[in-house]
Chains A and B, each alone.
Chain A
Amino acid sequence: MDALTAHLSVLGHGLVTTVQLTVVTTIGAMLLGIVVATLRISPVPLLRTIGTLYVEVLQNLPLLALLVLFVFALPQIGIQFPLFTSAAIVIAAYQGAYLAEAIRAGINTVGKGQAEAARAIGLTFSQSLRYVILPQGLRAVIQPIGNICIALLMNTSLAAAVGVVELTQAANNVNLVEAQPILIFTGAGLAYMLLALIIGQFTGLLERRLAIVR
């Protein structure tokens, strides 16, 4: 137990970084997801193609390859951000593709009549999206979005591979000093499970509050 308490500040700092990275990235990915999902259902063929390409490329590349490309290779052409920012941008871009697909699935569950009614009363494309389609579509996919957020939480650990000291890396660093791997890694694992549980509970709550009972 001493190994954990003696390094509580390091582990705590790692935990805070993981939480920060998760929150920032979730918000970014959510916004990006809505934009890309909108592109994919827009009436403009070119925009649809761009949306489809984005999702195809980002879903078929390993997150770690993207992180390595962004953090190690892009400085070569003069594009460099602080490490945390880089990791946040890449993870948000990656999970944004998954969120876009989930949101699009939600939009597809909205009845055709809703969209037709919105058009019939004279709403434009963006108005019917904002006031009619998205509010209903998003509610239908709260659970899948929650699952993606949990995947996002687990994926923030990959930032460790490019040098961000988040929970996984902090656990590893403490282990190198203390050499009590079982205790330390179990502790870190429990922390991840706890965070995932919180996300799960939160989405469960949201779903009960917001779900439309048809």
Chain B
Amino acid sequence: MNQTQQILFDEPGPRARRRIRIATVIGAVALVGALVAAVQQFASHGELAWSRWEPFTTWPIWRYLLNGLWATLKAAAATAVLSGVFGLLLALGRLSTNRLLRWLAGGYVEIFRTVPALLLIYVTLFALPAYGLNFPLFWKLVVPLVVSNSAAFAEIFRAGIQALDRGQTEAGLAVGLRRGQVLRLVVLPQALLQLAPSLVSQLVGLLKDTSLGFVVSYTELLYSGQVLSTYTHLLIQTFLVVSLIYLAVNASLSKFARILQARNGRLTGRGGVPAGPDTPADPASPSPEGSIAR
């Protein structure tokens, strides 16, 4: 158990232990009750029959879904690389000494942080073709996601660069490095290391965004599930399996972000305790979850 969670109660005495036992029993009964109700609901509509789950033990179905997952990962990778690069450029623009650059980058970030990705997808689907700009299916999904995610990445990078001690930049300038060199040799290597957990958890969000392929009819995981369920009519089974795949991939990524966070906590020696996402939100170092709200 985490120490921060313990502030609300002491080591339980006999009476508290009894109350904890009672609460455990009540919680367990509620949990089992919910499970039984769910199973009954499935059973009464015949969705528990083995024939309705058996297809998911066969390879062709899994091959189809894994192809979908592969397409999801491809779209996510393309979006991550492109929006990472654009995001970094935008962050540098926002922090630059040139006023015009600062305004342009700031305007871009402020606008695309508050416009839903779906609206941007509708623009690439229905607006741009009218002006002769008809992307292939893959890019119809990736381009709008890059447009909106680069704004999110820009904010992460900016927070990380600003959180770095000013003394680092000043020392770099003092030993005679030019601004670009300070950035490249001193600031970015440190900031990126600090930001690694936030960047990885942004990847989770980005991977979730690729499910908008459903709207574009790009056969990533969710749309693959939709296609599959129109053939097999196994709606609930298919979407449950699809959800489990998403859960497995994203939970591993989140776990990875937490490991990175803990390692960073040790490296900077803050507190000595592995700094999980459970530690209080420290505005200087964005926690993996809290940085960009989804």
Contact = CB atoms under 8 A, between A and B. Distances in A.
Nearest to A43: B9
B119 A65 contact: no
B162 interface: no
Contacts of B130: 179, 181
Interface residues of B, number: 69
A44 B294 contact: no
A133 B8 contact: yes
A89 interface: no
A77 B8 contact: no
Interface in B4-40: 4-5, 7-10, 12, 16, 20, 23-24, 27-28, 31
A140 B291 CA distance: 15
Contacts of B12: 43
B223 to A, nearest CB: 10
A44 B225 CA distance: 38
B294 A76 contact: no
Interface in B157-215: 204, 207-212, 214-215
A76 B24 contact: no
Contact of A128 (B8, B28, B208): B8
Given A50-B31, A60-B246, A77-B236, A193 B114 contact: yes
A192 B115 contact: yes
Given A41-B5, A43-B9, A61-B250, 11 more contacts: A42-B8, A44-B24, A45-B24, A69-B240, A74-B236, A77-B45, A77-B236, A125-B9, A141-B281, A154-B117, A181-B126
Interface of B: 1, 4-5, 7-10, 12, 16, 20, 23-24, 27-28, 31, 41-42, 44-45, 47, 111, 114-119, 122-123, 126-128, 130, 204, 207-212, 214-215, 222, 225-226, 229, 235-236, 238-240, 242-243, 246-247, 250-251, 254, 277-281, 287, 289-290, 292-294
10 contacts: A59-B254, A59-B294, A61-B243, A62-B210, A65-B222, A65-B246, A77-B47, A148-B293, A179-B130, A192-B114
